[in-house]
Structures are given as C-alpha cells and as structure tokens.
Amino acid sequence: MKNKYFDLIEQTFEFPNEEFAVVENELMWFGIPLMDIIKQYGTPLRIAYLPKIGQNIQRAKRMFNVAMAKVDYNADYHYCYCTKSSHFSFILEEVLRHNVHIETSSAFDINIIETLHEQGLLAADTFVICNGFKRPQYIENIQNLINCGFTNVLPILDNKFELDLLLKDFDKKLQVGIRIASEEEPKFDFYTSRLGIRYKDIIPYYKTHIAGNDQVELKMLHFFINTGVKDTAYYWNELSKAINLYCELHKVCPTLDSLNIGGGFPIQTHLDMVYDFEYMAEEIVAQIKNICSKNNVPEPDIFTEFGSFTVGESGAMLYSIVNQKKQNDRELWNMIDSSFMTTLPDTWAINQRYVFLAINNWDSEYERVNLGGLTCDSEDFYNAEVHSNAIFLPKMQYDREQYIGFFHTGAYQESLSGFGGIQHCLIPAPKLVIIDKDENGEYFTKLFAKEQSYKSMLKILGY
C-alpha cells in the first residue's frame, strides 16, 4: 500500500525535481542535505541560498534578450533589483555581482547605495530608480547622490508636487520618470492606485511643468501593477494602455526613451506551479514593439524591477515540531518552535502560501495536521497549501524529531517582521544562515545572525 509521506508527495507533484530530492528519507535542497544544516545550527532557522539569486537574474536577462532578438527590437533591457524585497548586505552584494541596476523606495535605501559604492561594489553609472512618495530626507539623499557624481539617478515622480521639491536648492540637471497610477483589478477595494499620477494628467503635467524647463528631462514612464505580471485580460489591457501613453508622450517629449514595467514576475508557491516565463517576456516585448511601430515611435529601453523573482526562491524557513495537541476528534495541532506571524508574516497578513515539505521521516505514514505557532494569537497558524485545503506531515512519534521546511520565503518576510526588533509575544527572531557554493561547486555555510537574545529585545523596550 502506498501510504508513506514520500508516496503522497510523489503522487501529488512532479517529484523529485531540479531543486528537491530525497536521500535516505531526508530532504535535499539544491543538493544540500538539510538535516546536516539543522544538526549544525538547530531550528528555528532562516536560510538564504545565494546561488539561486544569480540564476534567476541571468534567466530573466536571457529571456528578455531572446524576446528582443526574436522581434528585432531596437533598444535594450535593464534588470533592476527592487531593494525592498530584501535589504540584507549579503543579498545586495550577490545581486550586484550579476550586473544589475537598483530600484529604491525610501530615504535609507540611498544610504545603502552610498555604502555599497564606497565599498566598490556599485558603480556610479548604475541606474538608481527612486520610487516611492518622497519626504524631505529622501529628496535630500537623492540630490546628494547626484551631487556625488552618480550619473543615472532617476527619481520617478509619484505625484505632481515632487518635482518642485527635487529642484529646490539644486542646480544640476535632473532626469526624471513619471509613474502611471494604474487602474486596479476590478475586484479590488478601489479603482485607481494611490501610487503615481493619473493617466489623463500625465501629458498635461509634462507640458506645463517639464517641457519648458531646461534643468529637467523626462526619460522614463513607469508602470506597475501590484497583482503582478499575469496572462490575464486585465494585465494585457493595462500594459497596452501604458504603451499607448508612452507613444503619445514620446510624440511631445523626444527625451523619453525608457519604459519601466515594474516588478511582478512570480515565484513558485507550490511545486506544480506552471508559469510560462518565456511566453510572458516574449509577449510583453512584442506588444511594446507592435504598438510603438504602429505609432511610428522608436521602441523604448525596457526596465524591470523584480523583487520576489530575484530573492524569493533563495530563502527558506526551517522549524521543528515541538509537540502535538489533539483538540477534538479530528484536528491535530503540530506546534512549531517559532511563530508564523513573526517569521513568515505574509502567511498571516495576505494568506501567502509557500512550498512546504517535511525534512525527515519521509518513509513514515502521513497524517493531516494544522501547524500552530508559539504566540498566543489564534491567527498564528498554517493549514493549507495553494493546491489543497490541507497539509500533511509524517505521523507524529514522540521518540523522534520532526523537522519541516517552508521554501521560497526570501522576499519581504524579514523587513515586514522587523528582523531583530520587537516580535509578537516576544518570540525571538531566528538564526540566519547564508549558504553559498565555492569555486568547486561545494556548498559552505556562514552564520549571519544568531537567534535574537532577550537582552536585545529588552533594550529596545527601554529596560
């Protein structure tokens, strides 16, 4: 009878695959025996597998460049990394090894850029695309960056007031972009995004505020849809509206030469996720080319700002099951040794699902469980996957350890949970370990941060 955890996974998914395999009933992730990592560092444990970052960057670059070659596209593709998805130094250092540009969202991002530049890791001609609503410190930092010799700083106007602020007490030439306030998906809470400037206001705004000003040059039109790059009528409709606007704007503004299509390439949230990246890249590029040709407008350089796609699949969270509670005849609660709310806040906030697998005991029979976090918050649980309204684990046995892993958790979770800050119910931030490969392809690990101590939390709390 096929009733083992291994059978369940093998029957549910294409398993093993390039990323996951099982050797002697234990999970390997990119060829790394996770039980070895757990034996060395314990749980709860956050891990970052750096080689995956470069693989994804190169993959996107390749796809867009191939798509451009197929339609004989006469401009370039620029990959930007959206820093807000993970600001850690080791992530930015890895990202920058792959020749990318940067997108920022607030003032302190610019301090990171300066630091990386001082360390010789980021060149002064890197595109720094500055998004976000700009408060005085952000404006000042952007101006400083340009004054220090950065040649491709590109503030994206989020509203009609920012340009005046950027030009105040500033005498250098300024290149800017304008963000389109996109229409939200029909089922959303409101119609138009609060981010950016309304479609119909953009050309009049350009004519009255930028066209006659020699100090400013409009270079980029920025378009981003928070539901991501999806093969839906909504996405293609919004994209084509943005390209048409680009063409209309170009006719009155010849300096405009770049279209930024934002972030939103997806990552795998369950093992069978199907997404045709090549098709999407080809279709985007072909649409831009077609609409520009129809309008007799030269095709723009294309910028993307992928966050999740760059770092999401490099991250994982490992926990152990500390005990099992049976709260009625049917519901089993496997308690983890940390909290979902504090370590994977998107599971609680937006019902985010991740690739979820047992790490050991794959030869055991399985059972349906709910996973409970250690906070006393009833919302601190995880009990469904994308493809199924249930989760399963090897049957609990009290004489052995059970470890579990959530994969592709590398984007947004640390900053949303305030890594190293105050945590719900004071559950400490977990250890963070970096995994990389040496020149022989052998993996090695490095402890980046120990588990948060009570002292660090009490200090923040004023004790």
Ligand X SMILES: Cc1ncc(COP(=O)(O)O)c(C=O)c1O
Contact call for residue 205 and ligand X (CB under 6 A): no
| Measured CA distances, 422 to 47, 165, 379 (Å) | 21, 35, 18
Write the DSSP string, 440-460: TS-EEEEEEEPPPPHHHHHHH
Q: Which is nearer to ligand X, 290 or 415 (by Cβ)?
A: 415
Tokens matching residue 179: 């963000």
Residue 352 is a binding residue for ligand X (CB under 6 A): no
For residues 330 and 357, give the distance between their C-alpha atoms in angstroms, rounded to a whole number: 22
- Among residues 306, 319, 406, 419, which is the contact residue for ligand X, using CB under 6 A? 306
CB of 92 to ligand X, least distance (A): 15
Number of chain positions touching ligand X (CB under 6 A): 16
Residue 428 as a binder of ligand X (CB under 6 A): the answer is no
Nearest alpha carbon to residue 321 among 264, 400, 266: 400
Q: Does 309 bind ligand X (CB under 6 A)?
A: yes
Q: Does 430 bind ligand X (CB under 6 A)?
A: no
Q: Enumerate residues 359-378 that contact ligand X by CB under 6 A.
A: none
Q: Does 131 bind ligand X (CB under 6 A)?
A: yes
Question: Least distance (Å) from ligand X to the CB of residue 182?
Answer: 11
Interface residue with ligand X among 44, 177, 196, 263 (CB under 6 A) is 263
Rounded to whole angstroms, how far apart are CA atoms 345 and 285? 35
If binding is defined by CB under 6 A, does position 305 make contact with ligand X?
A: yes
Task: State the residue number with the nearest CB to ligand X.
Answer: 263
Counting every residue written for the chain, the total comes to 463
CB of 85 to ligand X, least distance (A): 5
Residue 262 as a binder of ligand X (CB under 6 A): the answer is: yes
Alpha-carbon distance values, 391 to 132, 236, 325 (Å): 38, 35, 16
Distance CA 80, CA 99 (A): 9
Site membership for ligand X, residue 314 (CB under 6 A) = no
Q: How far apart are CA 425 and CA 34, in angstroms?
A: 29
Rule CB under 6 A: is residue 85 a binding residue for ligand X? yes
For position 315 contacting ligand X by CB under 6 A, the verdict is: no
Measured between alpha carbons, how far is 353 from 62 in angstroms, rounded to an integer?
28
Between 133 and 454, name the residue whose CB sits nearer to ligand X. Answer: 133
Sign of CA dihedral 163, 196, 262, 346: positive
Stretch that binds ligand X, among 33-41, 54-62, 241-249, 305-313 (CB under 6 A): 305-313
Give the nearest distance from C-beta 109 to ligand X in angstroms: 12
CA atoms within 13 A on the CB side of 200: 1
Q: How far is the CB of 45 from ligand X (least distance, A)?
A: 24
Positions touching ligand X (CB under 6 A) are 82, 85, 103, 131, 224, 228, 262-265, 305-309, 411
